[in-house]
Amino acid sequence: MGLKSGKYDVTIIGAGPAGLACARELANSDLSVLIIDKNSQPGDKLCAGGVRVSDIKELGLDINRLKGCEILKAPDNGKIIEYTTVDRRVLSHYQFRFIDKAENIDKLSGCKMSDIAPKMIMLNCGDKIKKVFFEYLVAADGSASKVRQKIGIVNQDELILNSILFVLPLKNNATEFSTLEFFYNRKLFGDWYAYIFPHLKLNQIKIGCGGSVKWIQQNKINLRENLKIWLHSRNLPINPDNIQGALINSDFQGYDFTKSRFGKIFLCGDAAGLANYYSGEGIHQALISGSEIGKMIVDKNYIPERLNELVSCKQQEIDGLFSNIDNKIWNRFKQYLHRLVFHRF
């Protein structure tokens, strides 16, 4: 489906978890909506896909349809926290079911935002340039958000993570990898870790590692090479062409820019910098922020309590990092992971 109009009440850039969660709240409303994605197949993004089961259930999503591996049950201060994996493509297909029949929503794929002006964006759609006018613009365009950049937000290297990921195909009915695993090796990964996240419905596992851009630069770390070394030590087959890298934005500087000189703009998900600094996890934050922003647009009196709670936790995370109490937070997180899994080096 393409453009039916050059003007929409709400234009959403990015058809990932945040953008589709927002679109779901706008479906069948009186508002005209356009959702744009740069990929021909939405959901095709570098992502390990680790999630808490409760976070998925909280949003009314069917965990049995989405989970990619056996649920990992981990004790934490008398509670049991359940983890699994969700593939971004599987999640996108699932989310599209909620908006497919909405007559007020148009979808446009294979287009990138190239520029922004007051209440208008320019789209690069292959050999064509298109203009779209908006009343509201929702930026769900990920960690490298063009909208975030254009409205003048400057990222802080301390809060940007570099993620390296390798996808390993599995044979049918493989049983060696059944649930999430974390691995510590301070020499290779510093205070961070490597992980193996199975996606058994897709017959693949995602193996990766990460760390803050500032830490990598200061210590002259080559994460890609270190991951290769670790993969060799685990006797896991390596195709260097399949090792990919991406940035994760954990630098939250606000989500409501409705008084921007460009018009009423919201940032959500990774575009808002809501990903967790210590784990890199961002699917839950994307789903919450996208959903809450959609509700705010539909109902001007809506109070986004879940988003406000998310922002409060995020602010504590950032304040802790810059007030030098992050070691306590980080040590607690590492202790939790030690309880969560068998860690191997």
Helix axes 283-298, 305-322, angle to 10 degrees: 130
Q: Taking the CB of residue 265, how many other CB atoms lie within 10 A of it? A: 23
pLDDT of residue 316: 87
pLDDT of residue 327: 56
70 has pLDDT over 70: yes
Counting Cβ atoms within 10 Å, is residue 273 exposed (0-12), middle (13-18) or buried (19+)?
buried
111 has pLDDT over 50: yes
Q: Which two tokens stand for residue 83?
A: 């983890």
> H-type helices in the chain, by residue range?
17-26, 53-58, 63-66, 88-96, 146-150, 186-189, 213-218, 223-233, 283-298, 305-322, 326-340
For residue 196, report the phi and psi dihedrals to the nearest 5 degrees.
-125, 120
Reported as a single tens digit per residue, the pLDDT across 37-65 is 998 776 667 889 999 898 888 888 899 99
CATH superfamily of 7-49+87-155+250-322: FAD/NAD(P)-binding domain (3.50.50.60)
Q: What is the mean pLDDT of the chain?
A: 88
pLDDT of residue 343: 41
pLDDT of residue 342: 42
What average pLDDT score do residues 83-97 get? 92
pLDDT, greater one: 76 or 263? 263
Q: Which band of pLDDT confidence, cut at 50, 70 and 90, is reported for residue 9?
A: very high
Cβ atoms of 204 and 168 closer than 8 Å: yes
Q: CA nearest 141: which of 15, 250, 21, 283?
A: 15
Close Cβ partners of 285 (under 8 Å, ≥ 6 residues apart): 269, 274, 275, 276, 310, 314
DSSP-assigned beta bridge partners for residue 212: 161
pLDDT of residue 108: 94
Could you please report the per-residue DSSP string of 60-81? T--HHHHB-SPPEEEEETTEEE
Q: Which two tokens stand for residue 188?
A: 């290779």
Question: What is the C-alpha separation between 73 and 82, in angstroms, rounded?
Answer: 5
Question: What is the C-alpha separation between 185 and 193, in angstroms, rounded?
Answer: 7
Question: What is the C-alpha separation between 86 and 56, in angstroms, rounded?
Answer: 10
pLDDT of residue 24: 97
Reported as a single tens digit per residue, the pLDDT across 319-342 is 877 665 445 555 655 555 554 544
Q: CA nearest 202: which of 297, 296, 88, 117?
A: 88
pLDDT of residue 325: 45
What average pLDDT score do residues 286-302 get? 98
Helix axes 17-26, 283-298, angle to 10 degrees: 30
Domain with CATH 3.50.50.60 in the chain: 7-49+87-155+250-322
Reported as a single tens digit per residue, the pLDDT across 144-194 is 999 999 999 999 888 999 999 988 888 765 567 888 988 888 889 887 889
Q: What share of the chain is helix, strand, coil (3-state, %, to 5)?
A: 35, 30, 35
Q: Measuring CA to CA, how many Å separate 175 from each of 170, 197, 204, 311?
A: 9, 13, 12, 39
Reported as a single tens digit per residue, the pLDDT across 254-280 is 999 999 999 999 999 999 999 998 888
pTM for this structure?
0.90
- Average the pLDDT over each of 8-17, 136-145, 208-217 and give the range with the smallest value: 208-217
**E strand or H helix at 179, and its extent?**
none
pLDDT of residue 331: 60
Q: For a pLDDT cut of 70, what percent of the chain falls above it?
A: 90
